[in-house]
Amino acid sequence: MTRTTKSVIVTLVVLVIVAALGFVYASPYIALDRLKRAADARDAQTVNEYVDFPALRESLKLQVAELLTRRVDIQKSGNPLAVIGAMIGAALVGPLVDSYATPDGVAAILNGIPPRGNPGERPPAPAATNPGPDSTSAGSGAAPAAPKPPPQTTAGYRSFDTFVVTYQHGAGDARYSAIFHRSGLVTWKLVAVDLNG
C-alpha cells in the first residue's frame, strides 16, 4: 500500500468519524423538527415515535397541579371559597392532562401554547390549511385580528441525555420548556414539560 493510499484511507476514516459525531450531536434538533412537523400535520403515528406519552402525561399532571396550587395559595388570603375552587380544579386536572397528552396537545406545546391550568382548557383546534375570507369581518369592514407572533425559542443540551427547548412569547410572558430524553444513541423522545421555564 502506498503512502498516498494510506493518507486517503486515514482522511476518509476521520471524515466518517466527524460526520458520525456531528449526526449524534444534531440528532435532538432533527427529532424536534420531525416531531413538530408531524404534530402540526396531526400525524399520530410519527408523533407516537417521538413522544413518551405516559411520561408526558405524568409530567403534565404534576405541572398543572402545581399551577393550580399556586393559584389557590394566592387566592386564599382574599377568598374564603378558595378551598372549593381547589377541589374543583383538582378534579379538572385529569381531563386537561388527557387533552394535552395527544398529537393536538403536543402541537400546541411545540407552537408556544402550553396548558395554563384553566377549567375546561383544551389545546386549540388545528388551523385550516387554506382558510377562506372571513365572512363576518368582510361585511363589517373590521380587520381580522393579527396572529400572535411565534414564540422565541432556545434549544440546547442540559446533559448528554437531556435536551431542552424553552419557549417565551415576550419579555413579560412566562417561559416554559419541552424536555427530551435520549432513547438510544440518536433517538430522542419528548418526556416532560416544565411550565416554570
pLDDT (0 to 100) of residue 23: 93
Read off the pTM.
0.76
Edge-first strand order for the sheet with 162-168 is 152-159, 162-168, 176-182, 188-194
Say if residue 94's pLDDT is above 50. Answer: yes
Phi, psi of 171, rounded to the nearest 5 degrees: -60, -35
Q: Tell me how crowded residue 42 is: count the other CB atoms within 10 A of its CB.
A: 14
Rounded to the nearest angstrom, the gap between the alpha carbon of residue 115 and the centroid of all alpha carbons in its chain is 11
State how far the alpha carbon of 149 is from the alpha carbons of 35, 113, 170, in Å.
21, 12, 10
Say if residue 39's pLDDT is above 70. Answer: yes
Q: Tell me how crowded residue 191 is: count the other CB atoms within 10 A of its CB.
A: 19
Q: How far apart are CA 98 and CA 137, in angstroms?
A: 35
Mean pLDDT of 113-139: 60
Q: What DSSP element (H or E) covers 115?
A: none
User: How long, in residues, is the chain?
Assistant: 197
Residue given cell 382558510 in the structure block = 131
pLDDT (0 to 100) of residue 182: 95
pLDDT tens-digit map of 134-157: 433 334 344 445 566 777 889 999
Share of the chain above pLDDT 90, in %: 42
pLDDT (0 to 100) of residue 118: 73
Residue given cell 403515528 in the structure block = 45
Q: How far apart are CA 194 and CA 163, in angstroms?
A: 13
Residue boundaries of the structural domains of the chain: 3-124+148-194
Identity at 142, one-letter amino acid code: A
CB 151 within 8 A of CB 171: no
pLDDT tens-digit map of 53-82: 999 999 998 888 887 777 666 555 556 666
Q: How far apart are CA 197 and CA 160, in angstroms?
A: 20
Share of the chain above pLDDT 70, in %: 73
